[in-house]
Amino acid sequence: MNVNLDQFQNAQPDEINPEDMPDTEYIMVDVLKIKDLLKKHKNKEIDTNLNERKFQMKLDRDFHKLKEEFPTIYEKTCNNSLETERLRFMLKMQNEIRKKKVTSHEASVTVGQELVDNIVKPNLEK
């Protein structure tokens, strides 16, 4: 296999067109609503007639847009493994791109640095 290194040496990241970005304004609102509903159901404050499976089906129906457009976020929210503050940070960066306050490259560097500082470095110290 022949690889032309010239094409990689001065490669620039593709810029994301802010107009091409999906609508994400509703994500945090839905995530927080789901978390609240799950807590209330677990504490038997709502829908006491529904077992976990049926309650999950209700959430699937009520939050179908989030489930269809962002299935991983939806799944992690429902199984309580979503890092809400990290999601909030990433959505904020996406919003900054959409408003053209930062480029996608600048946002990528900022998100990458946050991940290194808060995930990679702490695991290296163990």
pLDDT in tens, the chain (126 residues): 566 666 656 656 667 777 777 778 899 999 999 999 999 999 999 999 999 999 999 999 999 999 999 999 999 999 999 999 999 999 999 999 988 899 888 988 998 898 888 888 888 876
Answer yes or no: do 49 and 28 share one domain. Answer: yes
- Both 87 and 126 in one domain: the answer is yes
The whole-number pLDDT of residue 10 equals: 62
Residue 37: what pLDDT? Answer: 98
Q: Say whether both 70 and 120 belong to one domain.
A: no
61 and 26 belong to one structural domain: yes
Confidence (pLDDT) at 111: 87
Within a domain: residue 102? yes
Instruction: Look at residues 46, 66, 82 and tell me which one is the last residue of a structural domain.
Output: 82
Q: Could you tell me if 106 and 75 lie in one domain?
A: no
Q: Are residues 28 and 67 in the same domain?
A: yes
Both 78 and 119 in one domain: the answer is no
Q: Residue 2's pLDDT is what?
A: 64
**Residue 22 has what pLDDT?**
77
Dihedral sign (CA 50, 51, 57, 61): positive
Do 38 and 58 share a structural domain? yes
Quick one: 64 and 36 in the same domain? yes
Do 88 and 77 share a structural domain?
no
Residue ranges making up the domain that contains 97: 83-126
The pLDDT assigned to 64 comes to 98
User: Is 101 domain-assigned?
Assistant: yes
Domain count, the chain: 2
DSSP letter, residue 9: H
Distances 8 to 2, 3, 5, 39, 69 between C-alpha atoms, Å = 13, 9, 5, 50, 33
Residues 26, 78, single domain; the answer is yes
